[in-house]
Chains A and B, each alone.
Chain A
């Protein structure tokens, strides 16, 4: 577009913003009554940067050709001269939805990142922007080494966000996140090095299909290497233990990025585990189905037992991601499109719900479900938005997550009926805890004096929530724009998958 390297621009614009903030940004002017620290220059630069990134992403969407299954907007720059590793970025129907989601969520995360008592605003903004760069790099990289670099680079800002701006036992939570992710990704590093040595390239497009020259055993080992790393990120049972603490202790802005935008587990499983190793993915699909299925049931049951609202949402995420994993490895178009769609739309829903819960935490300094009750009496608009979030989360038709879920069900039903039953069980169980939570937090008579002091949505909240709600409903009724993006690409990897499993 206009001859500009637009993808590199998207990736590195936030870093540029971060550098500018580092040079000219200031820490003062936060304690504004209206919550919105207009006067803080770091904040304003960060908001502006993330907005521009989002607009650039929309421009990519505008120039994106839905009918192609290959990478578009490719940029290729030689990186290491002696080994065949290059800086290659490109976007296709699988990465574009994640890029759009990521760049959409970031401005929201930045907007809601500051509270009255937030310390070190400048450093917070820098961390958020660095996180955005690494996130976009993950989704846009078309080279395994480059991907790995961004993948690891992401750990630092997330760790800092949790460890510095989090609450409660935040350093431990950050450590847990870091160690889990890091250990998981070591397996992937080994796999990438092995591919680099044997194939003499790490370019994703070249590797697609060419990895079948490796022996089945080699492919299996590589598959495991990649999948463990992504399973931690997804998260998949039983490597999810970092998630509840990390999400709970993280500040809202980081939680909505983690839970809403940073879906690299899903992305990686589709892009690498499934696309590069179709035979293994087919052979070992059952193992993953079982783990994801356990995730669904286990996550839902533990969510039911939670007294902590935010942790309840976290276990709900575990259940949702189990469903997504099942969709991916069903290996047909409905399943994979359903998985991506569900990821994106559950991402939007998660952003909405985590923001809502976060704003409660700011007032009450607790997530305990018994601390609330009767909020609707004082703040009906807030309650209304919350209600939409709950309905979306349980997949009521007409909200966007339903489309993803039904596609996933249809996808998996073509493969295995028992797994389908477990998958559908998620929608029964989700109602149990979500409505229970809704009742205890929002409905009922006013139970505490503190609730009487609540103010309804501020104008900033009103706008952001209205956008989220409208998007959730819009994609529930008319999901075509999003489905069209991924159609050709998913068709491509599914055909590739089918060729390989037939030949086995």
Chain B
């Protein structure tokens, strides 16, 4: 069944892709993309069936198994196979990926209906799904990296899907390059794992940890524990993929892609790959307290800072993108206090309600003639009642209002942060709780600006405002249900039987007690995030819900801070100054000085001139040195060959 789950999207991709290559342009024949659309959706349905059965096997029957497909790389003592591994962690991820992917596939049929490249779009979506599924089912770290890079490539293709737009092309390149920076660390980490563990198979790595745990190495003049070094490098990779502070700059730009892509890749699945990877490698990360602490700090800072930026954005998709970053920060923070199951739990619920929010945003964008600036919207609730209600559900779940999904998962993260009892844990709790307030605030700022107040669209555009077609809103229903109930249903993932449930998939050192102590925290700590969330909604209502100039005045008074936030802390600009510009300057400098001047002018021209002067001086030949030599060489070859044949008696 797991084979079905992983490979049916791939086969669908091949078939759909071939249909594109077979007849690249549709040339007016609107309907002949049915084959590609149907095949990809069927592929996803099969995949979902496979995923459900795998999830059932792992949850109910507690099955852990690895299916060997065939050998991939074998060189010396390095042996890597294509394998499909499944346990509970895989089961959850399969369920999430297949479900959201299927719904996004269906949604895209409507969303991309007027795009002549719909077949290409669908095939890319299926390709992405295949890579994501190989990522979550891998039993060795190199196959994980295969999926990891594969989703990066599909993300590149989908962000730059509308390749005529320069901004989309630039965004896709940025996403690829920033992710490659993370992959630099990841690859180095993989290489070091082989050096110290002599294997890349996850199970074998984990069994050898006791042997390696006290090994140290020298790097840049300081001594460092090998496991810490490896975890640090792997986390570097995770930071890029999951858009954590420092390597996050690509995610907001990635919103250039079509909205279904944002929902699937940049909210529900790919960006959570970093979280998944850390959870998958929990036996390794457990032995590096330094890196765990770092993960909490980075995660909490990302959760908070991304939320502050989201407050100042006006692009509907960018608000949700920063919200995603912020939520990913939460997930990492929980991983850092060894509550891997809690992180995965939030990953799971978040996948549903964030996909819902993005797809709702897609409906809005469709309705308002591809406008994305929320300042130009307003009062849309009458025209878009279904989207409006769905958006409310998504936001309630996101803000963590009981009893929706986010309330269970996000508050659980804050609880384990507190119950970890460490300084970094408390730091994470404080920032996370503030971020919870901001989350509610920016979510309802979005709702009020888009759906309430006066409509600022032009007359022409207002005429076109319409509710999305059923093919777009029906797939949202499962997501809505998920956003409402999943928190409760899936709470067994982190409930009393936490350690029992996760025992084969996730490893936690007995000394890391955050999850075990979670019941003992004070009530105020438990309820504070929800109360602040409600406060956030109220504040958003006061500022944006009722007609007032408070928001404008506040913006003027805090103009410096506002500018800082609206420009995303100027991190992009700083990177441009430090890296991007300098690399081009350095490249040009090398080209002009060494390449063109030293190697070309000095070496070649001078040497060549002196040789030709010599040749002229000797007057050996008029036609020049080379031709003469060439002739001799040809002659020589002929002579040698014939000599050989005569000598050899042939």
A residues touching B (Cβ–Cβ < 8 Å)? 12, 15, 77-81, 87, 134, 149, 152-153, 155-156, 159-160, 174-176, 178-179, 182, 238, 241, 244, 298, 301-306, 332-334, 337-338, 374, 376-377, 380-381, 384, 391, 396-398, 403, 406-407, 409-410, 412-414, 417, 420-421, 424-425, 427-428, 431-432, 435-436, 439, 443-445, 456, 477-480, 483-484, 487, 491, 494
| 18 A-B pairs whose Cβ atoms sit less than 8 Å apart in the complex | A176-B604, A178-B629, A301-B583, A304-B584, A333-B75, A337-B75, A381-B24, A396-B153, A403-B73, A409-B190, A410-B191, A417-B188, A417-B192, A424-B188, A427-B180, A478-B72, A487-B74, A494-B76
Task: Find B192's partner among A175, A176, A302, A413 (CB 8 Å cutoff).
Answer: A413
Q: Would you call A301 and B180 a contact (CB within 8 A)?
A: no
Query: A81 to chain B: which residues have CB within 8 Å?
Result: 647
B residues touching A (Cβ–Cβ < 8 Å)? 20-21, 24-25, 70-78, 82, 142, 145-146, 149-150, 153, 156, 160, 163-164, 166, 169-170, 172-173, 176-177, 180-181, 183-184, 187-188, 190-192, 194-195, 217, 219, 583-584, 586-588, 590-591, 594-595, 599-600, 603-604, 607-608, 611, 626, 629-630, 633-634, 636-637, 640-641, 643-644, 647-648, 650
Query: B633 to chain A: which residues have CB within 8 Å?
Result: 152-153, 155-156
Given contacts A409-B187, A417-B219, contact A443 B630 (CB under 8 A): no
Query: A477 to chain B: which residues have CB within 8 Å?
Result: 72, 82
Task: Find B150's partner among A374, A398, A443 (CB 8 Å cutoff).
Answer: A398
Q: Would you call A384 and B21 a contact (CB within 8 A)?
A: yes
Q: Would you call A427 and B583 a contact (CB within 8 A)?
A: no
- In the docked arrangement, what's the CA distance between A398 and B78, Å? 18
Query: B641 to chain A: which residues have CB within 8 Å?
Result: 12, 15
Question: Closest CB of chain B to A70's CB: distance in Å?
Answer: 19
Task: Find A179's partner among B181, B184, B611, B640 (CB 8 Å cutoff).
Answer: B611
Given contacts A149-B640, A241-B600, A425-B184, contact A78 B648 (CB under 8 A): yes
Query: B587 to chain A: which residues have CB within 8 Å?
Result: 301-305
Known A159-B630, A376-B163; 19 more pairs at CB < 8 Å: A77-B648, A79-B647, A87-B648, A176-B608, A298-B594, A305-B590, A333-B76, A334-B75, A396-B150, A406-B142, A409-B190, A410-B195, A413-B188, A417-B192, A431-B176, A431-B177, A435-B176, A444-B163, A487-B75
Task: Find A78's partner among B24, B170, B647 (CB 8 Å cutoff).
Answer: B647
Q: Would you call B595 and A302 a contact (CB within 8 A)?
A: yes
Query: Which of chain B's residues has its CB closest to A395's CB?
Result: B149
Q: Would you call B219 and A380 a contact (CB within 8 A)?
A: no
Question: Closest CB of chain A to B393's CB: distance in Å?
Answer: 38
Given contacts A301-B586, A301-B587, A417-B219, contact A479 B166 (CB under 8 A): no
Given contacts A156-B634, A179-B611, A417-B192, contact A443 B183 (CB under 8 A): no
Question: Closest CB of chain A to B590's CB: distance in Å?
Answer: 5
B interface majority secondary structure: helix
A interface majority secondary structure: helix
Question: Closest CB of chain B to A309's CB: distance in Å?
Answer: 15
Query: B607 to chain A: which residues have CB within 8 Å?
Result: 179
Query: B78 to chain A: which residues have CB within 8 Å?
Result: 334, 407, 410
Question: Closest CB of chain A to B187's CB: distance in Å?
Answer: 5
Q: Would you call A87 and B644 a contact (CB within 8 A)?
A: yes
- In the docked arrangement, what's the CA distance between A301 and B170, Å? 19
- In the docked arrangement, what's the CA distance between A149 and B635, Å? 12
Query: B586 to chain A: which residues have CB within 8 Å?
Result: 301
- In the docked arrangement, what's the CA distance between A302 and B588, Å? 7
- In the docked arrangement, what's the CA distance between A431 and B187, Å? 15
Given contacts A301-B583, A414-B195, contact A241 B75 (CB under 8 A): no
Question: Closest CB of chain B to A438's CB: distance in Å?
Answer: 9
Given contacts A159-B630, A397-B150, A431-B176, contact A241 B191 (CB under 8 A): no
Q: Would you call B24 and A380 a contact (CB within 8 A)?
A: yes
Query: Which of chain B's residues has its CB closest to A417's CB?
Result: B219
Given contacts A81-B647, A380-B24, contact A424 B184 (CB under 8 A): yes
Query: B644 to chain A: which residues have CB within 8 Å?
Result: 77, 79, 87
- In the docked arrangement, what's the CA distance between A322 and B334, Å? 42
Q: Would you call A179 and B71 a contact (CB within 8 A)?
A: no
Query: B640 to chain A: which residues have CB within 8 Å?
Result: 149
Q: Would you call B164 and A332 a contact (CB within 8 A)?
A: no
Task: Find A302's partner among B74, B180, B590 (CB 8 Å cutoff).
Answer: B590
Q: Which 8 pairs from chain A and chain B are nearest by CB?
A: A333-B76, A305-B587, A413-B191, A380-B24, A77-B648, A241-B599, A397-B146, A304-B587
Q: Would you call A420 and B184 a contact (CB within 8 A)?
A: no
Task: Find A238's partner among B188, B599, B611, B643 (CB 8 Å cutoff).
Answer: B599
- In the docked arrangement, what's the CA distance between A304 and B187, Å? 23
Question: Closest CB of chain A to B339's CB: distance in Å?
Answer: 31
Given contacts A384-B21, A410-B191, A477-B72, contact A432 B169 (CB under 8 A): no
Q: Would you call B21 and A381 a contact (CB within 8 A)?
A: yes
Q: Would you call A427 and B648 a contact (CB within 8 A)?
A: no
Query: B590 to chain A: which residues have CB within 8 Å?
Result: 298, 301-302, 305
Q: Would you call A391 and B153 a contact (CB within 8 A)?
A: yes
- In the docked arrangement, what's the CA distance between A279 and B265, Å? 52
Query: B183 to chain A: which residues have CB within 8 Å?
Result: 427-428
Q: Would you call A413 and B195 a contact (CB within 8 A)?
A: yes
Given contacts A77-B644, A79-B647, A413-B195, contact A432 B24 (CB under 8 A): no
Question: Closest CB of chain A to B582's CB: distance in Å?
Answer: 10
- In the docked arrangement, what's the CA distance between A397 and B192, Å? 19
Question: Closest CB of chain B to A88's CB: distance in Å?
Answer: 11
Q: Would you call A435 and B194 a contact (CB within 8 A)?
A: no
Question: Closest CB of chain B to A374's CB: distance in Å?
Answer: 7
Task: Find A483's partner among B24, B73, B599 (CB 8 Å cutoff).
Answer: B73
Query: B71 to chain A: which residues have CB within 8 Å?
Result: 480
Given contacts A78-B648, A413-B192, contact A305 B591 (CB under 8 A): yes
Q: Would you call B192 and A435 a contact (CB within 8 A)?
A: no
Query: Which of chain B's residues has its CB closest to A337's CB?
Result: B75
Query: A333 to chain B: which residues have CB within 8 Å?
Result: 75-77
Q: Would you call B608 and A175 a contact (CB within 8 A)?
A: yes
Given contacts A78-B648, A305-B590, A333-B76, contact A406 B604 (CB under 8 A): no
- In the docked arrangement, what's the CA distance between A414 and B633, Å? 44
- In the docked arrangement, what's the CA distance between A244 and B594, Å? 14
Q: Would you call B173 and A436 a contact (CB within 8 A)?
A: yes
Query: A443 to chain B: which residues have CB within 8 Å?
Result: 160, 163-164, 169
